[in-house]
Chain A
Amino acid sequence: MSNYLVKELMVPLSEYATVPEGSTLFDAVLALEKAQEEFDHTKYKHRGVLILDKDKRVIGKLGQLDVLRALEPKEEGLGEINGLNQFGFSSNFVQKLRQQLLMKATPFKDLCSIASRLRVEDFMQIPSEGEIIEQEASLEMAVMQLVTGHHISLLVTRDKEIIGILRLTDAFAAVFHTMKECEL
Chain B
Amino acid sequence: MKELEKLLDRIIQRININLRELDYDVSPFIKKLIPLKQMVKFYAFYGITPNHSLNFVFRHSSLAGSYFLGKCRATNSILYKSDIRGDELKHRGDLFRYQKFEIPINRDEGIDIEDSYLIKTLVHNFSHDPETPEKFFIRDTVSTHYANIHGSPCDGCFLGPFATVDLTTTRDCVIGTFSYVQAGEVGHLNVGPGTVWVRNPGEFNFLYRYPLNRLNHYIDFIEGRPPQGFIMDFVEDRKEGFQRVFDTVNIEPSVPVPDNASLDRYAVIKPKTRISDNVLVAQRAYLQNAWLGQGANAQENCYIINSRLEGFDVTAHGAKIIEADLGENIFVGFNSFLRGLPKARLSVGKDSIIMPHTIIDIKKPLTIPPGHLVWGLITNPEELETNSMALKDFSRIDDGLIKGNMSFEGSGAGFVTAFRDRIHHILEANGAFFDGKKSRGHAQKNQNISFNTIQPYPDGELQGLYPAIVIQP
Contact = CB atoms under 8 A, between A and B. Distances in A.
Given A96-B400, A97-B402, A89 B183 contact: no
Nearest to B211: A76
A97 B404 CA distance: 11
Interface in B418-471: none
B407 A88 contact: no
Contact of B409 (A77, A89, A100): A89
Interface stretch (A25-33, A79-87, A138-146): A79-87
B169 to A, nearest CB: 15
Nearest to A96: B400
A88 B201 contact: yes
Contacts of B183: 88
Contacts of A14: none
Given A80-B209, A93-B409, A97-B407, A87 B197 contact: yes
Given A89-B207, A93-B407, 4 more contacts: A87-B199, A87-B207, A88-B199, A93-B409
A158 to B, nearest CB: 39
A77 B402 CA distance: 12
Please name the 5 residue pairs, one residue from A and one from B, whose CB atoms are nearest each other, closest first.
A93-B409, A93-B400, A87-B207, A89-B409, A88-B199
Given A89-B409, A93-B409, A97-B407, A84 B400 contact: no
Interface in B374-417: 400, 402, 405, 407, 409
A111 B207 CA distance: 30
Contacts, number: 26
A84 B189 contact: no
B77 interface: no
Contacts of B207: 84, 87, 89
A86 B205 CA distance: 12
Interface size grouping (class) on chain B: 10 to 19
A87 B183 CA distance: 9
A90 interface: yes
Interface in A77-113: 77, 80, 84, 86-90, 93, 96-97, 100
A179 to B, nearest CB: 42
Interface in B63-110: none
Nearest to B200: A88
Contacts of B405: 77
A104 B205 CA distance: 25
A89 B407 contact: yes
Contacts of B205: 87-89
16 contacts: A84-B207, A84-B407, A86-B189, A87-B197, A88-B201, A88-B205, A89-B205, A89-B207, A89-B409, A90-B409, A93-B407, A93-B409, A96-B400, A97-B402, A97-B407, A100-B402
Interface in A41-100: 77, 80, 84, 86-90, 93, 96-97, 100
B67 to A, nearest CB: 34
Contacts of B400: 93, 96
Nearest to B207: A87
A171 to B, nearest CB: 35
A117 to B, nearest CB: 29
Contacts of B209: 80
A148 B121 CA distance: 48
Interface in A107-141: none
Interface in B229-277: none
Contacts of A88: 183, 199, 201, 205
Contacts of B407: 84, 89, 93, 97
A43 to B, nearest CB: 44
Contacts of B189: 86
Contacts of A97: 402, 407
Contacts of B402: 96-97, 100
Contacts of A93: 400, 407, 409
A90 B408 CA distance: 11
A49 to B, nearest CB: 33
A75 to B, nearest CB: 14
A8 to B, nearest CB: 44
Nearest to B181: A87
A24 B209 CA distance: 36
B382 to A, nearest CB: 17
A80 B402 CA distance: 14
A90 B203 CA distance: 12
Nearest to B190: A86
A86 B22 CA distance: 14
A159 to B, nearest CB: 38
Nearest to A86: B189
Interface core residue of A86, A93, A97, A100 (most chain B CB under 10 Å) = A93
Nearest to B409: A93
A116 to B, nearest CB: 31
B417 to A, nearest CB: 20
Contacts of A100: 402
A90 B405 CA distance: 17
Nearest to A100: B402
Interface in B197-223: 197, 199, 201, 205, 207, 209
Contacts of A86: 189
Nearest to A81: B407
B335 to A, nearest CB: 20
B116 to A, nearest CB: 25
B199 to A, nearest CB: 6
Contacts of B197: 87
Of listed B183, B199, B209, B407, residue having the most chain A CB within 10 A: B407
A72 B400 CA distance: 25
B400 to A, nearest CB: 5
A77 B199 CA distance: 21
